[in-house]
Structure 1
Amino acid sequence: MCIDKLLAKIILTISIITISGVSAFSQALLPHITVHNKNGVNYITWTSGYTGIKQIGVQRSQDSLFNYATIGFIPNPDKKVNEFVDKKPPAGKSFYRLFVLFTNNSYFFTDATSESLQPATVEGPANNAPQSYGPSIYVYTNADGNVNISLANAKTHHYEIRFFDSENNFLFDLRNIENPLLILDKSNFLRSGWYHYELFDNDKLVEKWKFYIGDSVDKKGAK
């Protein structure tokens, strides 16, 4: 009888330890993700059943379909259980998705999941980009002010991008782009303001548009 009571106590103890070790937030299985907010910070979590993952980029938008910007990459993308912390999400509703790239260069986007944040909890400088501007889905600035170039089918095309300053003076170009996602450091543009670009595929103009570099570039150069 004493042995039975002891075994029951051990089983109960193990059960308590197991339950206490489980995260308070369940983690979705890719291609689904889970997003939750705690103290003004958004946590994006997921469980992966895939192998051979080369890169995972976390993207954020304030609508569910367009204008996604990459806000970071996962240092260990092949881990089964993973998490990304968005420390300064914008006010209102934010939608998140993952760009998952495999070692064989195949890829997919996860389903978008949203989380809301009240304006009172937001910290950090305001966006200085002028209003009434719609960013491109190909070339756009991310949360760090760097420039994202998102060309999902780059391997099967011959893309070239030419960059110009606000007065249309040629700055530099990128040729033979093969990566589906590139990030240009904002320091390449030297100062804040509007910049123009032209995106070509096989010498045919695909898009001609612009993006805005914030004043953090000027402050960095002044130090």
Structure 2
Amino acid sequence: RTADDDDPYERVVVANADQLAIVTALADPEPRPRLIDRCLVAAYDGGLEPLLVLTKSDLASPDKLLELYGDLDIPFVVTSREELEQGGAADRVRAHLDGKVTAFVGHSGVGKTTLVNALVPEDRRRTTGHVNAVTGRGRHTTTSALALPLADSDGGWVVDTPGVRSFGLAHIDPTRVIHAFPDLEAGTEGCPRACSHDEQDCALDQWVADGHADPARLYSLRRLLSTRERREGD
């Protein structure tokens, strides 16, 4: 990632990973779909499989947030605070991690490190923090990325990363994001050179109109591509 969209310096979060687990609380702190979109763009650009892990479902329903990503066919796991504390969430998350190197990314206070702790041997665990009641932000308890072997796994690893407050995309090549949409990529053959896939002459509109792909998929692609042009708070 970059610190912001105008920052020319890339900050490496993880290397040689297979999967990006985007951990988001449904409340306390409130979810930020724009950050999720940005993480998805980075995952698609880097060739990582995305996984949504939604925590604190006892505080808010996941339905509205999941509706935003239903057309992307992203696997997801929904957990509650009780499940995180008692370890019940770990088994369902672990089913998506076997044999893969998975980087966990998310805001501080969303339960990311608590979940990672439940997935790794006890002697490798990290400390956890709490959400500030005034600011609604978590306290950073992870200051560097750490790769940990997944307990009871066939070669799986998890990478706990520091909590992020922003996710710049200055380093992203938007032309690579389309590769994550094979049902749409074939329709770009008729696009003008350097097409942004969100302009008047984009061939994808006709591709969808001819019934080759779901219109909702094109909407999702364009929403993700446009997130690079907008600030996270927009």
TM-score (norm 1): 0.25
Between Structure 1 and Structure 2, the one with more strand by share is 1
Between Structure 1 and Structure 2, the one with more helix by share is 2
Q: Which structure exhibits the higher relative contact order, with contacts defined as CA atoms closer than 8 Å and separated by 6 or more residues?
A: 2
TM-score (norm 2): 0.24
